[in-house]
Amino acid sequence: MITIKNLSKVYENGSKPVKALDNINMHIQKGEIFGIIGYSGAGKSSLVRCLNMLEKPTAGTITIDGKEITALNDKELRTARRKIAMVFQHFNLLSSRTVFGNVAFPLEIAGVPKKEIKQKVEKLLALVGLADKYDAYPAQLSGGQKQRVGIARALANDPKVLLCDEATSALDPETTKSILKLLKDINRQLDLTILIITHEMKVITEICDTVAVLESGKVIEMGNVVDVFTKPQHSTTRAFVQTVINTEIPEPVKQRIGQEGGGRVIRVSFIGDHTGKTVISSIVKKFDVDANILYGNIDHLQDTPFGGLIIELTGKQESILKAEEYLAQQGLQIEVIANDC
């Protein structure tokens, strides 16, 4: 659906040129949810903005649905843009128009007759669950509702591709979840290709099929989400994976860790087959240490379990170190949180 070849983007407007994208190559399949993750400044927005030519690429070609959009004139580009919809982090709704008016806007632009607009908008608002907010102005809506309007608006001209630049980054976790679910539903119902830009690994694990990790304008890792997640090759990718595995330790557990004589507390994180517990019991047997599980969480990425355990180890220091070594050999990530022994 989308093919990007040797794409580069250099910004020349500052005091010195900034190379935001450096020879990007990727292919996005029809009907998939493709995620692009990277830290702030990695070039994510530049990349997605090149896809609808909000930014002109410095070099390279982009083909969307068989059309080389980097080779179109102004008029052709305007027509092509109707099929490349975009959802924005800050919603970018028209404050002077109602919810209805906002969703009707792209249809008006495309010259759709009034009667058809009305039917289409009603259908779209029902799809995003906002049928009752028809007459409301954006100022009267919550962030999540605004983004639903943004999504309905994006879908108005039956796009082939939906580009989402940090579409959930301005929303709280609960709302993020519901918006991601909506995107997934749309992806299934309409067989719509979705490109999601984010700096949160959670978003990737939640709904993406494929992921590309972007750093300093380069793709440093790309592939099936489960593969990249279970076998991250690059340190940046590993850091992103850690963000979803190491969830916040609950307050009572934290207090307990702080207490005197609490022993050595470690965090064991795992992805894939070993769900940790069996390994824990084997270190107790093997190394003459006591292991007390203070906290644990397990999550699933499709069928792959992942999570972390907070364990308090007591015993001889030597034995503890040996036990830790053993855990590491089993492919588990170890992090020492407290060391009171």
Partner 1 sequence: MTADISLINHLIEISPELWKATYQTLVMVGATMFFSTIIGVPLGVLLVVTEKGSIMENPKVCSILGSLVNIFRSVPFIILLIALFPLTRLIVGTTVGTAAATVPLVVGAAPFVARIVESSLKEVDKGVVEAAISMGARPWQIITKVLLPEALPGIILGLTITTVTVISYSAMAGVVGGGGLGDLAYRYGFQRFDEITTYAVVVILVIMVQLVQSFGSWLSKAVNKK
| Options 90-98, 168-176, 269-277, 313-321: segment touching partner 1 (CB under 8 A) | 90-98
Site string for partner 1, 123-152 (x = CB under 8 A): --------------xxx-------------
How many chain residues touch Mg ion (CB under 5 A)? 1
Based on the number of CB atoms within 10 Å of its own CB, is 152 exposed (0-12), middle (13-18) or buried (19 or more)?
buried
Answer for the pair 100, 134: CB distance below 8 angstroms, yes or no. yes
Check residue 187 for interaction with ligand ADP (CB under 6 A): no
Sign of the dihedral defined by the CA atoms of residues 161, 166, 171, 172, in that order: positive
Check residue 45 for interaction with Mg ion (CB under 5 A): yes
CB of 110 to partner 1, least distance (A): 7
Reported residue count of the chain is: 341
| Options 33-41, 95-103, 123-131, 200-208: segment touching ligand ADP (CB under 6 A) | 33-41
| Options 11-19, 140-148, 246-254, 322-330: segment touching ligand ADP (CB under 6 A) | 11-19
Q: Is 273 helix (H, G, I), strand (E, B) or coil?
A: coil
Element housing 318 (H / E): helix 317-329
- Structure token pair of residue 55: 């930014």
- CA 89-43-192 angle, 5° bins: 55
Q: Which does 42 bind (CB under 5 to 8 A by kind): ligand ADP, Mg ion, partner 1, none?
A: ligand ADP
Tokens 């959670």 map to which residue? 202
CB of 162 to ligand ADP, least distance (A): 18
Q: Is 30 helix (H, G, I), strand (E, B) or coil?
A: coil
268 forms beta bridges with: 309, 334
CA distance 40 to 240: 13
CB of 166 to Mg ion, least distance (A): 6
**15/255 with CB nearer ligand ADP:** 15
Based on the number of CB atoms within 10 Å of its own CB, is 61 exposed (0-12), middle (13-18) or buried (19 or more)?
middle
| Options 40-48, 142-150, 204-212, 242-250: segment touching Mg ion (CB under 5 A) | 40-48
Residues forming the site for ligand ADP (CB under 6 A)? 11, 13-14, 18, 20, 38, 40-46
Residues forming the site for partner 1 (CB under 8 A)? 52, 54, 77-82, 84-86, 88, 90, 92-97, 105-106, 108-110, 137-139, 157
